[in-house]
Amino acid sequence: MERNGTAYSSKDFSSDQDVRWCPGCGDYSILKQMQTVLPELGINRKDLVFISGIGCSSRFPYYMNSYGMHSIHGRAPAVATGLKAANPELSVWVITGDGDGLSIGGNHLIHALRRNLDINILLFNNEIYGLTKGQYSPTSELGKYTKSSPLGSIDHPFNPLSLALGADATFVARTVDRDPTHLREVLKRAHEHKGTSYVEIYQNCNVFNDGAFEPWTDKKQRDANSIILQQGQPLVYDGGNKGLRLDGLKPQIVDLTEGFSQSELWVHDEKDATKAHILSRFFNHEPGPDKFPRPFGILYSEDRFTYEEAMQNQLDKALELQGKGNLDELIRGKSTWEVE
């Protein structure tokens, strides 16, 4: 994208405000990758808007040199819905977290997903309440010890991707703060998707929940525990040693060193809703050699009309059927009488 004859650089998207997340927070990486990828997306900065709720992640808009609103706890998807419906020209990004998006704002999130406005929802998942100093969140694992759960959490956690698929989201992806290349690639795809793009980003809170995603980020463990989804490619992981196949609808781990050929493997198709549901269920808290790997990438992507298009179509239809609204005729109504 060009501005005054020069292309945007990442600096053009950086505001003059000091970034105030804790040193070492995963949010820095996400902010950096967003600012890095934006010049490639072809969005005119004047049309770019970030809307957030409340929480650590929700400070994000203040650090972006674009339009932005730091709204109230959990309501960013609703604010974004009104904004995008009113002004479809804008590129609208919702920044939310696991507490903001899945707890207090859970209702708005699922309804935004089903409506399918052309917006992007980035859910920074750190499995903890950070800004309120360390209570268990709706994605914290069962039994988690926190300030508000000294005997362990008894809340069964949400599976954020299954939840989104259950709400009929049209774009469902997962990425992680520690993998900048993958993160940028997913952000780019989210932008390109026409409809609500829902991206769960694993984000390390090094103060209250350090290492929560280590099985999927630590160089020694991640290959064995995670699988990178690529459209049209067989599901292979663990350095090519393991693969996944489907026996009907039942997924199986196969050892590629023991005679299984790649041609027998499950080939990723992000347009397949059933398979996306199966992938989203790969959600064991404790990873292990017999456990399914955690998938990263785009689980699901579907072309569906957007809410703002449908809304505009109704306005056009009304114009066609009723004619352009005439204020005097409206006020006058159908039946009047004269008083002399």
- Interface residues toward other proteins, by CB under 8 A: 15, 17, 45-49, 51, 54, 61-62, 64-73, 75, 78-87, 89-90, 107-108, 111, 311, 314-315, 317-319, 321-325, 327-328, 330-333, 335-340
Dist CA 241 CA 160 (whole Å): 28
Token pair of 208 as six digits: 């209250």
Tokens 């009047």 belong to which residue?
Answer: 336
Residue of 246, 238, 233 whose CA lies nearest to 216: 238
Minimum distance from residue 233 beta carbon to other proteins (Å): 38
Helices within 87-232 (DSSP H only): 98-99, 106-115, 160-166, 180-192, 214-217, 222-225
Q: Which residues pair with 201 in a beta bridge?
A: 124, 175
User: What is the smallest separation between the CB atom of 114 and other proteins, expressed in angstroms?
Assistant: 9
Instruction: Quote the least distance from Cβ 189 to other proteins, whole Å.
Output: 24
CB of 305 to other proteins, least distance (A): 16
Nearer Cβ to other proteins (61/293): 61
Burial label for 24, CB within 10 Å (0-12, 13-18, 19+), is exposed
Cβ proximity to other proteins: between 249 and 331 the closer is: 331
Distance CA 280, CA 90 (A): 31
Cβ atoms within 10 Å of 302's Cβ, excluding its own: 17
> Toward other proteins, which CB reaches closer, 189 or 191?
191
Q: How far is the CB of 100 from other proteins (least distance, A)?
A: 13
Q: Facing residues of 3 across strands?
A: 6
Min. distance of Cβ 110 from other proteins in angstroms? 8
Which is nearer to other proteins, 105 or 215 (by Cβ)? 105
Tokens of 93: 């990004």
Beta partners for 1?
Answer: none
Report the SS3 class of residue 129.
strand
Q: Which is nearer to other proteins, 169 or 186 (CB)?
A: 169
94 SS3 class? strand
**Residue 183 in tokens:** 């993160």
Please classify residue 203 by burial: count the beta carbons closer than 10 Å to its beta carbon, then call 0-12 exposed, 13-18 middle and 19+ buried. buried
In the bound state with other proteins, the residue whose beta carbon lies nearer, of 58 and 175, is: 58
State in angstroms the smallest separation of the CB of 58 from other proteins. 9
Smallest gap from residue 99 Cβ to other proteins (A): 16
CB nearer other proteins, residue 90 or residue 236: 90
Cβ proximity to other proteins, 109 vs 123, nearer residue: 109
